[in-house]
Amino acid sequence: MNESPMTAARGKDLAAYLLAVGLCLLFLVWSLQLWRADLRVPLTYYGEAKFNALLVKGILDFGWHVSNPAMNAPDGLDLRDVPMSDNNFLLLLLKLLGVVSHNYGVVLNLSFLLTFPLVTITALYTLRQFGVSQVVAILASLLYTFLPFHFVRGQHHLFLAAYFLVPLMVLVVLWLATGKLTLVDANTGKFSVKLRDHKLLGSVAICLLMSGGGTYFAYFGCFFLLLVGCLVAIQRQNWRCLALPVALVALIFGGLVANLLPSILYLRQQGDTPSVRRHAIDAEIYAMRLSQLILPVSGHRVFLAAKLKAAFNQRLLINENDDASLGAVGTLGFLLLLGWVIVRKPELRRIEDDGSQGVISYLSILNLSAVLLATFGSFSALIALILTPKIRAYNRISIYIAFFALLTVALLLDQLARRYVTNAARRGVFVALLALVLVLGVLDQTSARFVPDYPKIKSEFDSDQKFMRQVQGTMPAGAAIFQLPIVPFPENPKVGKMFDYDHARGYLLTQGLRWSYGAMKGRASEVWQTLLSKKPTPEMIEQIVLSGFQGLYLNRNGYNDAKVENELIGVLGAPQFVSDDGKLIFFDLRNLEGQLRAKFGGAWDAKHEDALHPLLLVWAEGCSEPEGPPDNNFRWCSAIGELQVTNGAAHPRQVRLETSVITENDANLWISGPLLTEHLQTGQKPTPLTRTLTVPPGTHAIHFRSDGQRVLAPGDFRYLVFRLNNFKMTVEN
């Protein structure tokens, strides 16, 4: 029985997808040398990859990532302070992978590796929707999958590496541009809604998924939707054409707000923290540069290309924007799109009737708009300055530009094939040439530096795992372990030789223990840990034990010398465990706890409460970190500032406040709140302020407001108005 043409076409399409995925996996195994990997060990074992590992293990252990009682002991970690729920769709995929394994390393690795075939599938689907032939679509989808962006983001920026929704977003944008998706009847110019239109339903689904697939990709998608909506409205001279793009943007924005609502409500109630504060200058620091799109990948396989890129990277402000390289084929498409705008000068009223060239015309406009939005010193800087600095890494739009470029190459290759590939022999040569371009393109876009150092990672991981198993085998279930040095969470610079999130290995490699790491920047727990760390070592250890910690963990890489370690040994004796690589040491505090309980007797509970709940001062929005030496420090604030005073004790405390205030000009400073209300005249001469306050139990806010002039300091982009000198609050009872 002969199969129908539709069945045959579907069979060929399925074969194309299977071939594309098979090639993707083949290139993936080769480019990362996965035969050398142990998937139980993370492919990346430092830096932000450990933050994503925390999210993965938190989901596996506690059902979701928001609350982690095993970190930030004794309080527990509340990740509503770090809004990650804009990735809820991707986090749900991580949870589903938990069915495969409960090992965080396996789930983390699989989640990253699966992004490659997922990108291939969505890119191939989008290309086929625009009539690109199967063989050309496979080429373009695989080159898009193996962009440097994918590897460099890796497990550090796991959710950015999962950019498989981007091609689908581009599909929706081009459907709108070409009139295939509309709510306006072409003949009458009036609204005509077809609820069963599969393109409309598909677009709604894509936008909903995009709202849970990361703020940046959603933000750029909204930009392109609005841009195309305006173009189509001008083209048809009918502003009803804006209704659907605006509705889709509202859908994305509404979904994004719904996903982030727990964090929005929490931060509104508790105030924000430094981890969510951004500055307008960041849009320049993390901007995209045209040269970075065109230049080869860092560490290119060709020596001269690698040398050229290394020379460029000696410039200032080279950071994550380094991974924007489009590769040779993508660069060709990008330059063609720029040339298309200049040479063809697309006319809005004629674009829609130009077939595939019309799609390229729209792509050229989208491409140019992306460049004008995201490059250094462009509209992104103005948006950050005038509207919001929350979106700062505009270089990430490069993944949209890459798809515009490769779709353009694919459309032009298809046009070339239709004109010149007219028989089987020519088709064979054409396919062979495409295969050669694919292999050379993947070689061009990948680098030997993308291959993890498997032996080094495995050695470090095994050393850590053995050490943590010793700790877990010694400590009782639920025991709290204090970690030194104190490292604020999240996004902290290196401490000594310690990478950010290195302390996370305690939680990642144990079950049932609680770890002090995870004290949120700008929250009381961070202030409490910092207060402890500033005490003399014998007093610090006593306070740690009184606070309920039964173990002490120290990372030697966090110190430039052995002073602190030697002081710990002087009080506690030799450490119980030292890791095989010599980086980590562990002290069992239970013997000291017994001694202190005997020493304090009936006063133990009171000592415990005092250690856990000292008076804490948290400087909130508007106030910068202290500067200057400890005995003569100062803190800048903007026109407003807030100080949160927390008394965790069950009784009121009497405290003495001492400070002085300086402003650039004669000004007024108003202080208000339940603890203190004052009006001070300030100027360049310090105005002293000394008061005795009674602080009831709980957290109380002191608000500052000044009408002073802004202090302009070269190279300092903060909004500086008044300065508090040597601010102290001393408990008197």
pLDDT the model gives residue 2: 59
Q: Mean pLDDT, to the nearest integer, of 442-460?
A: 95
Q: pLDDT tens digits for 253-272?
A: 999 999 999 988 988 888 77
Task: Indicate the DSSP class of residue 157.
Answer: T
* DSSP reduced 3-state for 103: coil
> pLDDT tens-digit profile of 76-108?
999 998 888 889 999 999 999 999 999 999 999
Crossing angle of the two packed helices 604-612 and 590-600, in degrees rounded to 10: 120
Residue 353 has pLDDT above 60, yes or no: no
Q: How far apart are CA 666 and CA 441, in angstroms?
A: 65
Residues 6+ apart with CB under 8 A from 73: 480, 481, 482, 514, 515, 516, 549
The predicted model scores a pTM of 0.92
3-state DSSP of 613-660 = CCEEEEECCCECCCECCHHHCEEEECCEEEEEEEECCCCCEEEEEEEE
Domains of the chain, earliest start first: 278-420 (no CATH), 455-612 (no CATH), 615-731 (2.60.120)
Q: What is the mean pLDDT of the chain?
A: 91
Q: Give, in degrees to the nearest 5, the angle at Cα 401 between 338 and 118.
A: 150
pLDDT band at 350 (very low <50, low <70, confident <90, very high): low
147-204: per-residue pLDDT in tens? 999 999 999 999 999 999 999 999 999 999 988 888 887 778 787 777 788 999 999 9
Q: Could you tell me the pLDDT band of residue 379, with boundaries at 50, 70 and 90?
A: confident
Contact 502, 46 (CB under 8 A): yes
Give the contacts of 195 (CB within 8 A, at least 6 positions apart).
201
E strand intervals along 212-362: none
pLDDT-derived band at 111 (thresholds 50, 70, 90) equals very high
